[in-house]
A and B are shown apart, each in its own frame.
Chain A
Amino acid sequence: MKKIAILFIILGISFSSFAQDDLLNMMEKEAPSKPTITYATFKSTRVINLQTNETMKAKHLDFRILHRFGAADINSNTVYGLYNMFGLDAAQMRLSFDYGITDRIMVGAGRSNLAMYDLSLKAKLFEQKSKGKGSFPLSIVYYGDMGINTQTWADPNRQNFLTSRFTFVNQLIFTRKFNEWVSFVLVPTIVHHNIVPQTTDKNDIYALGIGASIKITRSTRFNFEYIPRFNLRNQAIDATGKLAYDEFAVGFDIETGGHVFQVHLTNAQGLIEQQFISENTNMIALNTLRLGFNLSRTFSFEKSTSKK
């Protein structure tokens, strides 16, 4: 009896595979989909100022124009800010090119006010992957930047070294896209200045960038970032006794095909980490927030996919 039962079971199994007529199910069972790399964690290589996990893909170039207005100075004497166009007259600017060597390695070069050149490297170490075997919950990315200050020497009479022009940033960027709507980023950062104005100043500044992006519609996002520093708090950063403050920014991404347009309010006017993390002298207050724009245009140098 038992044997007959086994026979029927075997028959059943044989028939079920024999009678399999849903071809789609058959294919799905044979080769289940592989884990996919999470895309569009952020819309751009920066949340606002803070770096994200995003890099340009291989053979893609990102041309960026960054603008930070000066103080808006809104009162009745300035016709509520119109006199200096909400700080446009005192704007700071950055132009940069970032190029994807591979899908995971990007190099960049830029020039910002004041007389600051910089070279950067961004490398994806681990990528967030969804679903099944081989999935990974986070993206981990390294970002390094070397700033070269080309201003004339503050004191031409002392012995000046070329290396005194250099500043460095090292960051590990941890991001997670929680779902279609919300992404989060944490960025432990070390900023190093080879030369500092006073002997009592610190060469290394430690900070933790915190940022988030929330999708509002298909092409717009709300972004937020805050970069608290662990040292250099309540300590003058130059001879005039100015204090440095943490960077803060809120803004929106607006995407239009090949462009990403970011508009925001921030208390920092600097445009690279060496400036907005360690040398930001504006406290976080309503009257110190400045308007800012990031414009990003992507160009592809990939050959056409169509075979002709």
Chain B
Amino acid sequence: MKKIIISLAIAFIAIANIANAQMFTFSTGSVSFFSKTKMEDIDARNSSPKVLLQIKDKKIAFIAENMAFKFQSKLMEEHYNEKYVESEKFPLATFQGKINEDIDLSKEGVYAVTVTGNFSLHGVPQTRTIPGTITVKNGEINVKSVFTVACGDHKIIIPSLVGAKISETVEVTVDVNLIPKK
């Protein structure tokens, strides 16, 4: 009896591991954003996002810590965290969605996709459909996407005093390489 239990337990752990092998996780790349106005260009880069891509269910999720976005000006960085995304209250920007297209990510190829899911920033979730390109090659996966975020959609208010310097919509660029999760 005892042996059966142990072997069953091992079998289940093994299945769980196989399921995990269907997961891809962040290795290199970044999530960055860009705000352009006549007076000032602002760009910030987060080189340590967390990413999970589930092959079987075609699900993908991102977590970007707001405090990990690096700006050229540290003053801007402080303002970003303190005044705009309020990182102490809302430390994370997240996205979780499902790929709409009928594709098989276990096969090599370049896939143009759209992902529908929940994008949350500043504690305000929005359902978004975001376009992107997924490249599967040599057992690694690259995910690229460019999309815009309207500050107003996430209750991020830009005071009129700095309105000339900060754009109401920012362009977010995702370019990450994923490797199989151990």
Which of B13-21, B101-109, B129-137, B147-155 lies at the interface with chain A? B13-21
Q: Does A135 contact B (CB under 8 A)?
A: no
**B100 part of interface (Cβ distance < 8 Å):** no
How far is A26 from B16 in the complex, measured between Cα atoms in Å? 14
Query: Considering the chains assembled together, what is the distance between the CA atoms of A65 and B1 in angstroms?
Result: 82
Q: Check B44 for interface membership: any CB of A closer than 8 A.
A: yes
A39's contact among B59, B82, B89, by CB below 8 Å, is which? B82
Enumerate chain A residues within 8 angstroms of B96, measured Cβ to Cβ. 22-24
A7 touches B5 (CB 8 A): yes
Shortest distance in angstroms between A214's beta carbon and chain B's nearest beta carbon?
Answer: 15
Contacts between the two chains (Cβ within 8 Å), count:
105
B12 x A11 contact (CB < 8 A): yes
Q: Are B61 and A24 in contact (CB under 8 A)?
A: yes
In the complex, whether B57 has a CB less than 8 A from a CB of chain A is yes
**Residues of B contacting A303 with CB < 8 Å?**
72
A104 at the interface (CB under 8 A from B): no
B143 contacts A by Cβ under 8 Å: no
**A23, A26, A304, A306 pick with most chain B CB within 10 angstroms:** A23
Query: Which of A18, A24, A28, A257 is close to B165, meaning CB atoms less than 8 Å apart?
Result: A257
Q: Are A3 and B61 in contact (CB under 8 A)?
A: no
Query: From residue 28 to 71 of chain A, which have CB atoms closer than 8 A to chain B?
Result: 28, 31, 33, 36, 39-40, 57-58, 60
Nearest A residue to B54, CB-CB:
A23
Query: What CA separation (Å) do A57 and B71 show in the bound complex?
Result: 12
Q: Is the CB of A27 within 8 A of B61?
A: yes
Q: Which of A26, A33, A257, A303 has most chain B Cβ within 10 Å?
A: A257
Which residue of chain B has the shortest Cβ distance to A255 in the bound complex? B79
B83 / chain A contacts, CB cutoff of 8 Å: 218-219
A residues within 8 A CB of B161?
Answer: 219, 256-257
Give a binary string over A246-260; 1 marks a CB under 8 Å from any B CB, 0 the rest. Answer: 000000000011100
User: Quick check: is A77 within 8 A (CB to CB) of the other chain?
Assistant: no
**Majority-rule SS of B interface residues:** mixed
Which residues of chain B (159-179) have a CB below 8 Å from chain A?
159, 161-162, 165
Range, interface on chain B: 35 or more
Determine the chain A residues whose CB is within 8 A of the CB of B79 once the complex forms. 257
CB distance from A53 to the nearest CB of B (A): 13
**Interface membership of A298, Cβ < 8 A:** yes
Q: Does A130 contact B (CB under 8 A)?
A: yes
Q: Does A152 contact B (CB under 8 A)?
A: no
Give a binary string over B81-96; 1 marks a CB under 8 Å from any A CB, 0 the rest. 1110001110110101
CB contact between B5 and one of A10, A256, A306 (< 8 Å): that residue? A10
Within 8 A of A (CB), among B19-71: 19, 32, 34, 43-45, 50, 52, 54, 57, 59-61, 63, 65, 67, 70-71
Task: Offer 26 A-B interface pairs, CB within 8 angstroms, sorted by A.
Answer: A6-B5, A10-B5, A10-B9, A14-B15, A14-B16, A18-B19, A21-B59, A23-B52, A23-B54, A23-B59, A24-B61, A27-B50, A39-B82, A40-B81, A40-B82, A60-B73, A60-B74, A103-B74, A130-B88, A218-B159, A219-B159, A219-B161, A258-B73, A298-B75, A305-B32, A306-B32
Additional A-B contacts beyond A60-B73, A300-B72 (16; CB < 8 A): A3-B5, A10-B8, A10-B12, A14-B9, A15-B12, A18-B16, A23-B59, A27-B61, A36-B67, A36-B88, A39-B82, A57-B74, A60-B75, A180-B88, A305-B45, A305-B70
By Cβ-Cβ distance, the 8 closest A-B pairs, closest first, are A14-B12, A23-B61, A57-B74, A300-B73, A23-B52, A40-B82, A10-B9, A27-B50
Binding site for A on B (CB under 8 A): 1-2, 5, 8-9, 12-13, 15-16, 19, 32, 34, 43-45, 50, 52, 54, 57, 59-61, 63, 65, 67, 70-75, 78-79, 81-83, 87-89, 91-92, 94, 96, 159, 161-162, 165
